[in-house]
Amino acid sequence: MATTAHRRYAEIMRDVEDLINDHIVQQQRGTSERSKLKLLVPSVGKFFTPLALEEAFNFQDEKRRISSRRFVPPSFNDIRLTLNSAQLISLARGGPIELVTFDGDVTLYEDGQSLRDGNPVIQRILKLLTRGTHVGIVTAAGYTESEKYYARLYGLIDAVVDAIAAKELEDPKLVVLGGESNFMFEFNYNAEHFLQHIPRAHWLLDDMRQWQEEEIQELLDVAEQALQECIESMHLSAEILRKERAVGIIPSTSPWSQKFTREQLEETVLVTQQILDLSRVGKKVPFCAFNGGNDVFVDIGDKSYGVLCCQRYLGGIDGSRTLHVGDQFLSAGANDFKARLACTTAWIASPAETVQLLDELAVHEADLEKA
């Protein structure tokens, strides 16, 4: 039974892989609307690489024993991890990977925490840097001071400093892009807190230079009013927090404050998103409204711009040589979703999965070297 199930699942993966390959051919010709996949899934976007789905399924089936289950069909997580593996295999095969970008919360560390000493992902990131892969941390945290980013990432930054001092690492390319796509800092051994602020003139995309400050603030005004209406209509125990390039709601400091429910957070995101979409300024200035787990924020720009800015600043890296790793890819209130427009992506569900993902990438690369 398991052998038959495995063969049938593998055949399905091979068929989908063929559909994707056909779509890529049409994409290269500029006629992607004619692909069979586009007809079946009209919302399908751009593929930066092929996806080795059959090979990835074989890899995951060996680990998760999907074909051996009698009563539990392939789950969402089975498919998500198979797609991750397919992307890793294709990237390793077409290598080298030049840039890996990471979300912060729930990707590198637990929600609301910091990247502390001893976090197992640190050694994996150091290996990327050692082999010359650029690393970017593209986070919603919108700080203007290097000290605050250091406080969130000190475990990694200190490890990089130690590796340089021990001559194990030379000139690592590590950048932090905060507020989705608004504040860039680059690792600098001689800078305060080892992070040097990079002026926007050095990394802004051409279309981002067209955004007017008055329109940015107008959009944040509209978003703030929408958030206030959500607070009042749902009686949320929340406070408005306005930043230079973002506005959001955070839990109230009142001793009678109640934790937000997931439904309240999602409703707030969708209401605010719709109001901004219908506004005049929302059609002119790109923005991202997202559920942060215990808050809701609206940022100027989004992670597609964040990844593209990293690619530009680091020398014009192509999306097919870039991997973005994040935990928020559901279309409603998920800020990693837009990164799919800029590069290949991997959808993880915890910091532990990020470690497993990087270890798996190393396995696929090692297998190719042996072949």
Q: Quick check: pTM over 0.75?
A: yes
How far apart CA 84 and CA 90 sit, in angstroms, is: 10
Q: Is 103 a catalytic residue?
A: yes
SS3 180: coil
Tens-digit pLDDT profile for the chain (371 aa)? 788 989 999 999 999 999 999 999 999 999 989 999 999 999 898 999 999 999 999 999 999 999 999 899 999 999 999 999 999 999 999 879 999 999 988 999 998 899 999 999 999 999 999 999 999 999 988 888 999 999 999 999 999 999 999 999 999 999 999 998 999 999 999 999 999 999 999 999 999 999 999 999 999 999 999 999 999 999 999 999 999 999 999 999 887 778 899 899 999 999 999 999 999 999 999 999 988 888 999 999 999 999 999 999 999 999 999 999 998 787 655 678 889 999 999 999 999 999 999 999 999 998 887 76
What is the reported pLDDT for 333? 55
- Nearest CA-CA partner of 186 in 136, 143, 142: 136
- Phi then psi for residue 144, to 5 deg, are -105, -5
Q: Which of 78, 103, 302, 327 is catalytic?
A: 103
Q: Is 336 a catalytic residue?
A: no
Q: Which of 15, 61, 78, 105 is catalytic?
A: 105
What is the reported pLDDT for 140? 87
SS3 313: helix
- Phi then psi for residue 35, to 5 deg, are -70, 150
- Nearest CA-CA partner of 140 in 334, 363, 320: 334
- Nearest CA-CA partner of 153 in 188, 199, 111, 108: 108
